[in-house]
């Protein structure tokens, strides 16, 4: 393993560098500017040396004016190159992380739901925002800045040894101490940076979860307990940052002491050289400037290496998300298809964790335009049927076909565009009602959305809102009632005009008055569409063409309402009698 491999993970570093390929011209140009800055840096001390030895001591005023003009010119050129270097290195970093953030988000949108079942949302947010942002420093303050500093050091050392090798050795006599201090600092800070990234991820995950569930926290008066948990996590984050700051507070004063020691040795030895006529005063002054120019980048190199390593730690976390293989295979060859709506499950077995099956040998058929109702106790597997029909999860055994074609033969977009889903827990995004209906699809006109709202029966309540269809529903639709959110989800489904409609407990969270409105909307929605309806209220599904009864993942009964009611001690009959007995008691 080489020296570079000990400093950084070469494989990871090369992968990060490949992100700059689309901007190779800017990358090369910035590197060229780094080279030019390294070459210009030693020019000023050399000009000052000439000014002292050749013009000041010889009282050559005109020559001194020429040297001053040359110094001003070098400063202007250095400022221009420095501006270009800093601007374009920062521009390069921002451009790369912009592309990377889009790439990460695109990948996340393709991940199967199992990934989100096992990964806190706050952690995903940290990877997409904080960690990607930290990678910016690899380019803006990392690799190119390190190249610039290393080139500056090399060029200055070459010039110093060319001018006076004795003074150069005196300057470098403290280098072993400097290298040792830098190595210790680099190793310690690397560990603390990794800890900082871990703690900020925990902090984001905790905040995301508890802000989303703040109503539960307040309902159960758990504010104090959750505050104590947050305080503990926040303290760990502070501790990690303070530890990193502590290493910096030790390192930089140590380097200042070493630098001061080198300067003292240089002045002592150089003064003797000047007194003994073995060196000129201009050379000594130039070496003092060279020493400052040499140690300044060396002081910063350790910090920049740590910045680079911190960026690589963040890159490792980001690439972990990108390398996550929790992606539904989208290898279907059918990219355009108008569904009729025939659905067939044949001997389907499904488990979320590959072991504990929640659906066991499930088989049924739904013909075009028919309605299938699914009933069963909590955990029977009702919602799982919806999840695998949309290919949010993959089945382990059996087959699922639409119009006689396996759903895996359809492109995911084609499949999901033809299946409209209304969930029990309606999710609305921040934005207007119109945005939530159309999901910002420019092909859906406002007139279409308004017509759908009238069909569903939601137009009147929307028109009563401030701003009407431009009313901002806020995050998760917090300013609307459950029933209003549900009606908007119906409009959203209707405007996309799916051939297959799935209703998952669509009326379970709605008051009786709104339920009547929703039932009327459902009747209009299911007309001409193949529908799968999951419901606890059996009164809402008595007109279904078929009713599928599930228990612990198995199909116990299937038939229409009248057929199932004729089965003595049947599962459906027991559920029906129990529910209506409770209703009568109320």
State the DSSP string of 303-353: HHHHHHHHHHHHHHHHHHHHH---B-----SB--------EEEEEEEEESS
Q: How confident is the model at residue 510 (pLDDT cuts 50, 70, 90)?
A: low
**Would you say the pTM of this structure is higher than 0.85?**
no
pLDDT digits (tens, 9 = 90+) for 418-454: 888 887 777 777 778 888 888 777 788 888 888 888 8
Percent of the chain exceeding pLDDT 90 equals: 1
Mean pLDDT, the chain, rounded, equals 79
Phi, psi at residue 503, to the nearest 5°? -120, 110
Integer angstrom CA distances of residue 253 from 26, 179, 256: 36, 15, 5
Task: Report the Cα 501 to chain-centroid distance in Å.
Answer: 32
| Three-class secondary structure of residue 439 per DSSP | coil
Distance from C-alpha of 324 to C-alpha of 89, rounded to nearest angstrom: 30
Where are the alpha helices (H) located in 143-222, listed in sequence order?
143-163, 165-172, 175-212, 214-219
End-to-end CA distance of the chain: 78
Tokens for 179? 């290298």
pLDDT over 70 (residue 22): yes
**d(Cα 512, Cα 201) in Å, to the nearest integer?**
44
Q: From CA 68, how far away is CA 73, in angstroms rounded?
A: 9
| 530-534 and 500-504 strand pairing | parallel
**CATH code of domain 330-418+531-586:** 3.40.50.300
Output the pLDDT for position 512. 61
Specify the length of the chain in residues. 586
Structure confidence by residue, pLDDT tens digits, 296-322: 777 777 677 777 777 787 888 888 888
Task: Judge contact between 141 and 304, C-beta under 8 A.
Answer: yes
For the ranges 261-265, 342-346, 484-488, 558-562, the one whose mean pLDDT is highest: 342-346
Residue 159 burial (C-beta neighbours within 10 Å; 0-12, 13-18, 19+): middle
Burial of 267 (0-12, 13-18, 19+ CB in 10 A): middle
Q: Specify the DSSP class assigned to residue 354.
A: S
Q: Residue 3: is its pLDDT beyond 70? A: no
Alpha-carbon separation of residue 171 from 67, 160, 179, 258, 288 (angstroms): 27, 10, 14, 11, 9
For 433, the token pair is 């009602």
Q: Helix, strand, or coil here: 174? A: coil
Structural domain 10-323, CATH architecture:
Up-down Bundle (1.20)
CB distance 20 to 96 below 8 Å: yes
| Between 285 and 457, residue with greater pLDDT | 285
Which sequence spans correspond to the domains of the chain? 10-323, 330-418+531-586
450 touches 439 (CB < 8 A): no
Question: Distance between CA 327 and CA 225 in Å, rounded?
Answer: 37
191 CB neighbour count, 10 Å cutoff: 13
Beta-bridged to residue 343, according to DSSP, are 366, 402
Span of 69-83, 497-511, 562-576 with lowest mean pLDDT: 497-511
Is the pLDDT reported for residue 279 higher than 60? yes
pLDDT band at residue 491 under the 50/70/90 scheme? confident
Residue 2 confidence (pLDDT): 47
Tell me: the pLDDT tens digits for 26-62?
888 888 888 888 888 888 888 887 888 777 777 777 8
pLDDT of residue 580: 63
Strands of 554-559's sheet in order across? 419-422, 500-504, 530-534, 371-376, 546-551, 554-559
Cα–Cα distance measured from residue 256 to residue 323, given in angstroms and rounded to the nearest whole number: 44
pLDDT one-digit tens code per residue, 173-227: 888 887 788 777 777 777 787 788 778 778 877 877 777 677 666 666 777 877 7
DSSP 499-540: SEEEEESTTTTS-HHHHHHHHHHHHHHHTTSEEEEE-S-GGG
How far apart CA 504 and CA 536 sit, in angstroms, is: 10
CB 488 within 8 A of CB 426: yes
Helix (H, G, I), strand (E, B) or coil at 395: coil
Instruction: Give the separation between CA 574 and CA 262, rounded to whole angstroms.
Output: 92
- State the burial class of residue 253 (Cβ atoms within 10 Å of its Cβ: 0-12, 13-18, 19+): exposed
């Amino acid at each position: 393993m080489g020296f570079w491999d000990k400093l950084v993970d070469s494989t990871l570093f090369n992968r990060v560098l490949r992100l700059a390929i689309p901007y190779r011209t800017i990358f090369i140009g910035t590197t060229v500017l780094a080279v030019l800055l390294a070459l210009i840096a030693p020019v000023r001390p050399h000009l000052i040396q000439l000014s002292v030895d050749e013009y000041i001591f010889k009282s050559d005023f005109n020559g001194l004016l020429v040297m001053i003009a040359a110094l001003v010119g070098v400063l202007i050129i250095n400022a221009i190159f420095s501006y270009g270097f800093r601007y374009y290195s920062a521009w390069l970093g921002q451009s790369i992380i912009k592309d990377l953030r889009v790439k990460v988000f695109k990948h996340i949108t393709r991940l199967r739901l199992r990934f989100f079942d096992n990964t806190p949302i706050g952690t995903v947010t940290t990877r997409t925002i904080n960690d990607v942002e930290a990678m910016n420093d690899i380019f803006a303050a990392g690799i190119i800045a390190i190249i610039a500093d290393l080139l500056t050091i090399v060029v200055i050392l070459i010039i110093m040894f060319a001018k006076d090798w004795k003074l150069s050795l005196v300057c470098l006599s403290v280098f072993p101490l400097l290298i040792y201090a830098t190595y210790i600092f680099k190793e310690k800070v690397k560990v603390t940076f990794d800890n900082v990234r871990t703690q900020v991820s925990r902090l984001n995950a905790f905040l995301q979860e508890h802000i989303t569930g703040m109503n539960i926290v307040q309902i159960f008066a758990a504010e104090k307990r959750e505050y104590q948990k947050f305080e503990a996590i926040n303290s760990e984050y502070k501790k990690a940052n303070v530890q990193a700051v502590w290493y910096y507070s030790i390192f930089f004063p140590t380097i200042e002491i070493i630098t001061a020691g080198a300067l003292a040795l240089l002045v002592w030895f150089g003064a003797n050289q000047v007194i003994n006529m073995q060196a000129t005063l201009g050379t000594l002054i130039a070496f003092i400037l060279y020493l400052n120019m040499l140690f300044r980048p060396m002081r910063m190199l350790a910090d920049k290496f740590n910045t680079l390593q911190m960026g690589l730690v963040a890159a490792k976390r980001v690439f972990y998300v990108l390398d996550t293989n929790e992606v539904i295979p989208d290898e279907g060859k059918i990219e355009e298809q108008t569904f009729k709506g025939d659905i067939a499950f044949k001997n389907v077995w499904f488990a979320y964790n590959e072991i504990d099956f929640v659906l066991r040998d499930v088989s049924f058929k739904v013909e075009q335009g028919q309605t299938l109702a699914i009933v069963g106790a909590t955990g029977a597997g009702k919602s799982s049927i919806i999840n695998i029909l949309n290919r949010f999860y993959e089945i382990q055994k059996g087959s699922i076909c639409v119009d006689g074609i396996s759903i895996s033969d359809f492109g995911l977009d084609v499949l999901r565009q033809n299946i409209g889903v209304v969930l029990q827990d309606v999710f609305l995004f921040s934005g207007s009602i119109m945005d939530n209906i159309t999901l910002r699809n420019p092909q859906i006109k406002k007139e279409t959305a308004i017509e759908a709202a009238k069909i569903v029966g939601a137009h009147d309540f929307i028109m009563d809102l401030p701003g009407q269809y431009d009313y901002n529903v806020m995050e998760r639709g917090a300013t609307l009632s459950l029933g209003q959110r549900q009606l908007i989800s119906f409009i959203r489904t209707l405007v996309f005009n799916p051939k297959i409609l799935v209703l998952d407990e669509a009326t379970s969270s709605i008051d009786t008055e709104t339920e009547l409105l929703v039932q009327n909307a459902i009747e209009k929605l299911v007309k001409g569409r193949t529908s799968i309806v999951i419901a606890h209220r059996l009164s809402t599904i008595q007109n279904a063409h078929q009713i599928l009864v599930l228990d612990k993942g198995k199909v116990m009964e299937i038939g229409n309402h009248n057929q199932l009611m004729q089965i003595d001690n049947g599962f459906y009959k027991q559920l029906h009698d129990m529910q209506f007995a409770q209703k009568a008691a109320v």
